[in-house]
Amino acid sequence: MKPDGRARLVGLALVVAVAACAAPTADDDGDTTGDVSGELIVFATASLTDAFDQMRDAFVSAHDSVEVVVNNAGSQTLASQILEGAQADVFASADTVQMDAVGDADELAGEPVVFAENRLAIAVEPGNPLGIGGLADLADPQLVVVLAAEEVPAGRYARQVLDAVGVEVAPASLEQSVRAALSKVELGEADAAIVFASDLVASAGRADDVPIPSEQNVVARYPIAVLTHAPNPAAAEAFVAFVRSDAGQRILADAGFAAP
């Protein structure tokens, strides 16, 4: 190898080493090191709304020079916004399908990492006045059942479990986010909806939970990643580290999510 080739390799190694040292990291309590300041824009799927509100508050309390803006919507809506050029630093999805769509467009700065898991449940009116006991009951044509649309992760998962047990449901509406489906039950506009278990924790009694047995259920895996064109990559890396820290995982556990 020519001397100038060795020099370039040495120089590259030094750049990588410096970058690694400068990248923010988080300890078990979520405390980060590195330059964390400015505005941070987080795109988080609708089922993460409450958990990421708490995550934002905890992160900001540790870094008072950061302003965190969280945009919640269905994963497919957020992915489309990113692909259309919306400004964001971090993307947290309820499935790998929408994350892969963003990655296939070279919009991810690194490999996504799964930070939480979830399962489906049936949301019913408080007290379950119609006595809905499981997926088979949702086939009753007298029931008003709503689902998330098929392109929404919760909607696709719902169809997987319904197909697996051979239950046909004629939904009264197809919603663009799992929280919109839950809202129909909370407002008395639907008898039942298939949502995430964590959504019923957030519902705080406005809807009751009819569990779906594990042998009929699916595991929803939530990936998170920093985006290629993140305006604030340092804060983005620190936020992802916080989400994965013990402190972040405690917030997720309290919100009804399971560790990956």
| Confidence at residue 31, expressed as pLDDT on a 0 to 100 scale | 56
- Tens digit of pLDDT for each residue in 145-179? 999 999 999 999 999 999 999 999 999 999 999 99
Residues 209 and 125 occupy one common structural domain: yes
Residues 94 and 128 placed together within one structural domain of the fold: no
Q: Sign (positive/negative) of CA torsion 223, 243, 252, 40?
A: negative
Average pLDDT, the chain: 90
Residue 201 falls inside a structural domain: yes
Residues in CB range of 86: below 8 A, 6 or more apart:
43
Range of the domain at 202: 120-216
Whole-model pTM over 0.75: yes
Whether 135 maps to a domain, the answer reads: yes
Question: What confidence tens digit (pLDDT) does each residue in 120-130 have?
Answer: 999 999 999 99
144 and 194 share one domain: yes
Give yes or no: residues 111 and 226 share one domain. Answer: yes
**Residue 236 placed within a domain:** yes
Does residue 32 surpass a pLDDT of 80? no
CATH number of the structural domain spanning residue 72: 3.40.190.10
**Are 192 and 143 in contact, with CB atoms under 8 Å apart?**
yes
- The pLDDT-based confidence of 21 (bands split at 50, 70, 90) is very low
**pLDDT value at residue 176:** 95
SS3 of residue 231 by DSSP: coil
> For the chain, how many structural domains are there in total?
2
Report the run of H or E that residue 222 belongs to, with start and end: strand 220-226
For residue 221, give the 3-state DSSP assignment: strand
Residue written as token pair 């996504």:
112
* Rounded average pLDDT over 194-207: 96
Neighbours of 125 (CB within 10 A): 17
The reply to whether 12 falls in a domain is: no
Q: Is 107 helix (H, G, I), strand (E, B) or coil?
A: coil
Q: How would DSSP label each residue in 118-153?
A: E-EEEEE-TT-TT---SGGGGG-TTS-EEEE-TTSH
Q: What is the mean pLDDT of residues 233-247?
A: 97
**Taking residues 42-51, what's their average pLDDT?**
97
